[in-house]
């Protein structure tokens, strides 16, 4: 039996009355069937409240806006990752995984109703300015974020390139709010970069999981594998990687696994329950791997880290990850509206749910930049050296005339500056987590030789 309006409601404006009993989940307006008394009573209460506001509120109300706000509240209260989106917000969502957009470069979420930074995207204005994972955004351009929807916050932080936006955050350990005046810029879509830390040992930085991330990953891997006679060890850096597309996380995990499950997703409906498996690849990648994670590693990053950890394919190093263990789907609605909602939780191969727990590293190492200690000059340092002797031979390959004129030094400086536009192995060596990972890989190689492997 289809839902019938009570007698007192017959005099309502027809469009308003119709809107009250329509739901937008399927993209077309369909009458809601009152399956039980509880649903009927709730719908009746909703219609009574709307009628009262339309009749007696101090100002004239927009019934459509009220209904949209009600839907927004209904969906938004399910969990932090579900939301009802107007057309402009739905369009912006498409830009997150394809195309270019201008913004400040942070991934945000609603954590207990508070706008929280998941992580800044490397190379973006937010990253360069020093915004950190876990920062709580309390103002955007002097506008309080209290009660602000996630898509509204995203919309306010995006905008024309080079235009400034003021972000105010609260950070743990800081007594006063911090302000960041950020100049919007194009958000880089390249998600993979690489470097050789020392002969035979490669480094891969994955900043997010976009449409072409697995292709970029394979390209960088092939370059690293061809250098120095192959890889003896690899560091995969997923720190401050907020995630992205599920299929990319699965494909990247499959690059290093030949069998077994990668991740399973389990929902209330059978169609939303699935197991994704690994398959033998064309290339054998048997070298040891260390994966770096931190509190900004979320979602797809945690899928990769969890899969490699459970299969004992990689050692996980760093600090616990963010803990986003749910899967969302995006569904278009009528007139350009959309809805994003959670359909399942995901589990690692060993059946672990990381929701609100995160991936725990095998070896916990805090982030630190290693400062070079100044060495005090000893009496021996002040003594005369071979190079100080008159007419002493210069090291091979250095032209004395160029050395005196300073041309050699200038040339080296130019080379250094150019190399740092990509990834600087020297700078990575000052990163305590990267250094520890490299030491582990080198040690593994030494012990393997000792054991005759």
pLDDT tens track of the chain, all 453 residues? 443 434 433 333 333 333 333 333 344 444 445 467 888 899 999 999 999 999 999 999 999 999 999 999 999 899 988 999 988 888 777 655 554 678 999 989 888 889 999 989 888 999 999 999 999 999 999 999 998 888 899 889 998 999 999 999 999 999 999 999 999 998 877 789 999 999 999 999 999 999 899 999 999 999 999 986 789 999 999 999 999 899 999 999 999 999 999 999 999 999 999 999 999 988 889 999 999 999 999 999 999 999 999 999 999 999 999 999 998 888 999 999 999 999 999 999 999 999 989 999 999 999 998 876 655 555 444 444 445 555 555 555 445 444 444 444 444 333 333 332 347 888 898 999 999 999 999 999 888 777 665
pLDDT score of 284 = 87
pLDDT score of 35 = 64
Burial profile 46-57: b = 16 or more Cβ within 10 angstroms, e = fewer: ebeebbeebeee
pLDDT tens digits along 47-60: 999 999 999 999 99
Alpha-carbon distance of 288 to 295, in angstroms, equals 24
Residues 6 or more apart whose CB falls under 8 angstroms from that of 93 comprise 85, 151, 330, 338, 340
Q: Which of 310, 317, 325 is nearest to 361 (CA)?
A: 317
User: Going from the N-terminus, what domains does the chain have, and what CATH number goes with each?
Assistant: 7-61 (no CATH), 100-186 (2.30.42.10), 190-335+344-453 (3.90.226.10)
In angstroms, what is the C-alpha Rg of the chain?
A: 28
pLDDT score of 415 = 37
pLDDT score of 31 = 47
Q: Which residues are catalytic?
A: 299, 310, 324
Alpha-carbon distance of 124 to 208, in angstroms, equals 13
Query: What pairs with residue 341 in β-bridges?
Result: 329
Alpha-carbon distance of 61 to 98, in angstroms, equals 38
pLDDT score of 416 = 34
Q: 156-161: list long-range contacts, CB under 8 Å, 24+ apart.
A: 157/103, 157/104, 157/106, 158/92, 158/101, 158/102, 158/103, 158/184, 159/102, 159/103, 159/184, 160/102, 160/184, 161/102, 161/185, 161/186
Token pair belonging to 319: 């600090």
pLDDT score of 450 = 77
pLDDT score of 34 = 45
Alpha-carbon distance of 323 to 287, in angstroms, equals 28
């Amino acid at each position: 039996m289809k839902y019938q309006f009570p007698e007192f409601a017959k005099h309502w404006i027809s469009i308003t009355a119709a809107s009250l009993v329509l739901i937008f989940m399927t993209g077309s307006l369909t009458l809601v069937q009152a399956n039980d008394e509880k649903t009927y009573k709730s719908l009746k209460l909703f219609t009574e409240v709307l009628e009262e506001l339309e009749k007696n509120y101090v100002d004239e109300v927009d019934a459509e806006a009220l209904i949209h706000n009600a839907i927004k509240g209904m969906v938004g209260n399910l969990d932090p990752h579900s939301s009802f989106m107007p057309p402009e917000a739905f369009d912006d969502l498409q830009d997150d995984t394809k195309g270019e957009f201008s913004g400040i470069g942070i991934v945000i979420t609603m954590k207990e109703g508070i706008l929280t930074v998941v992580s800044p995207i490397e190379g973006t204005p937010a990253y360069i300015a020093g915004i950190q994972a876990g920062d709580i955004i309390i103002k955007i351009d002097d506008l309080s974020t209290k009660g602000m929807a996630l898509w509204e916050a995203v919309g306010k932080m995006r905008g024309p390139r080079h235009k400034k936006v003021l972000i105010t955050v609260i950070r743990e350990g800081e007594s006063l709010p911090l302000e960041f005046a950020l100049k919007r810029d194009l958000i880089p879509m390249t998600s993979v970069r690489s470097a050789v830390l020392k002969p035979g040992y490669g480094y891969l930085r994955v900043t997010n999981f976009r449409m072409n991330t697995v292709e970029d990953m394979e390209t960088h891997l092939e370059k690293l594998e061809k250098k120095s006679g192959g890889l003896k060890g690899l560091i995969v850096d997923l720190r401050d990687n907020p995630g992205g597309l599920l299929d990319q996380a699965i494909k990247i995990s499959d690059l290093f696994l030949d069998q077994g499950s990668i991740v399973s997703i389990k929902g209330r409906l059978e169609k939303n329950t699935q197991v994704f498996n690994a398959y033998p690849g064309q290339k054998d990648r048997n070298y040891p791997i260390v994966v770096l994670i931190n509190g900004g590693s979320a979602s797809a990053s945690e899928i990769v880290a969890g899969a490699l950890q459970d299969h004992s394919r990689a050692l996980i190093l760093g600090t616990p990850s963010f803990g986003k263990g749910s899967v969302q789907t995006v569904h278009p609605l009528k007139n350009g509206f959309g809805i994003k909602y959670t359909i399942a939780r995901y589990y690692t191969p060993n059946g672990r749910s990381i929701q609100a727990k995160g991936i725990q590293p095998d070896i916990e190492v805090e982030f630190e930049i290693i400062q070079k200690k100044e060495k005090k000059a000893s009496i021996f340092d002040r003594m005369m050296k071979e190079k100080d002797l008159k007419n002493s031979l210069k090291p091979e390959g250095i032209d004395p005339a160029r050395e005196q004129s300073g041309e050699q030094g200038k040339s080296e400086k130019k080379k250094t500056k150019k190399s740092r536009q990509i990834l600087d192995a020297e700078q990575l060596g000052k990163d305590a987590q990267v250094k520890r990972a490299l030491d582990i890989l080198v040690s593994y190689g030494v012990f393997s030789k000792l054991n005759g492997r």
